[in-house]
A and B are shown apart, each in its own frame.
Chain A
Amino acid sequence: MLIARVIGELVATYKHPSHEGRKILLVQPLNLDGTNRGVAVVALDAVDAGVGDQVLVVTEGFCASTSVGRIQSPIDMAVIGFIDHIELLPGVS
């Protein structure tokens, strides 16, 4: 799973039927210090997240499609939770 921030949304009218009725979010993966980690990716929304939220993103197909409730569908990333707080051991950054 990745820590990420929702930075935007996509609008797509023509898409695979399994993506209907779910928000398509642009999420930017983050390092623990809050800096960007790689390029932003597209994930379906399973928890009604919005722009600016810090979220948990799964990047594997089975997890993503079951969390959205659509098994055997072409979904490989989904937002599955909000992050309220991250606590690290002393010395870990």
Chain B
Amino acid sequence: MYLGRVVGCVWSTVKNRSLEGQRLLVIQPLTPELANTGQRIVCTDCTGAGAGELIYWVRGREASYALLPNQPPTDTTVVGIVDSVHLKSAAAPEPPPPAARKPAPAASGRKPSRKG
């Protein structure tokens, strides 16, 4: 699954019969920092997401499972509307092994920060 933002919608009057009644959204894939990445795609929708909303979408055969009992010929579907993204730094370095770790200075007065 991938993050994205709804940036438009597609109107199609003649299409596969099992796609009738389905909304087709134009999605801009995003990085976790909400910067654009990659090219825009068209997704079916099972959530009712609106313009500009942050969503996550699924790709592949599973995309049509979101629209059961119909299984329309779709390979990308919006499956959730994102309220918030809680991100920790992606580039956080591995903590050093315990043997290499320096002893904490006694006079600092700071509590060691908890992981996570």
Q: Which residues of A are at the interface with B, using a C-beta cutoff of 8 A?
A: 5, 7-16, 19, 24, 26, 28, 34, 36, 39-44, 50-52, 60-61, 64-65, 72-77
- Contact at A74–B79, with CB atoms within 8 Å? yes
Contact residues in B for A13 (Cβ distance below 8 Å):
81, 83
| A42: min CB distance to chain B, Å | 4
Given contacts A14-B47, A34-B94, A74-B66, 4 further A-B contacts (CB under 8 A): A19-B80, A39-B37, A74-B79, A75-B1
Q: Which residue of B lies closest to A54 (CB)?
A: B94
Chain B contacts of A65 at CB under 8 A? 62, 65
Interface size of B as a range: 35 or more
Q: Which of B56, B60, B66 contacts A42 (CB 8 A)?
A: B56
Q: How far is the CA of A74 from the CA of B92 in the complex (A)?
A: 31
Question: Which residues from B are CB-within-8-Å of A16?
Answer: 46-47, 66, 79-80
- CB-nearest residue of chain B relative to A59? B60
CB of B2 within 8 A of CB of A61, answer: no
Cβ distance A59 to chain B, nearest Cβ, rounded Å: 9
B84 close to A26 (CB less than 8 A):
no
A42 — nearest CB in chain B belongs to which residue? B1
B79 to A, closest residue via Cβ = A16
Report yes or no: A52 in contact with B3, Cβ–Cβ below 8 A.
no
Task: Give, as a whole number of angstroms, the nearest-CB distance from B14 to chain A.
Answer: 26
| A40 and B81 contact, Cβ closer than 8 Å, known pairs A16-B46, A61-B60, A74-B65 | no
**Complex contact A76–B88 (CB within 8 A):** no
Interface residues of B in 36-87 (CB under 8 A from A): 37-38, 46-48, 56, 58-63, 65-66, 68, 77, 79-87
Given contacts A41-B1, A65-B62, A76-B1, contact A12 B31 (CB under 8 A): no
Is B84 in contact with A10, judged by CB distance below 8 angstroms?
yes
Can you list 10 pairs linking A and B with CB atoms under 8 Å apart? Answer: A16-B46, A19-B79, A24-B80, A28-B90, A34-B94, A36-B90, A42-B56, A44-B1, A72-B65, A76-B59
Contacts of B48 in A (CB 8 A): 14
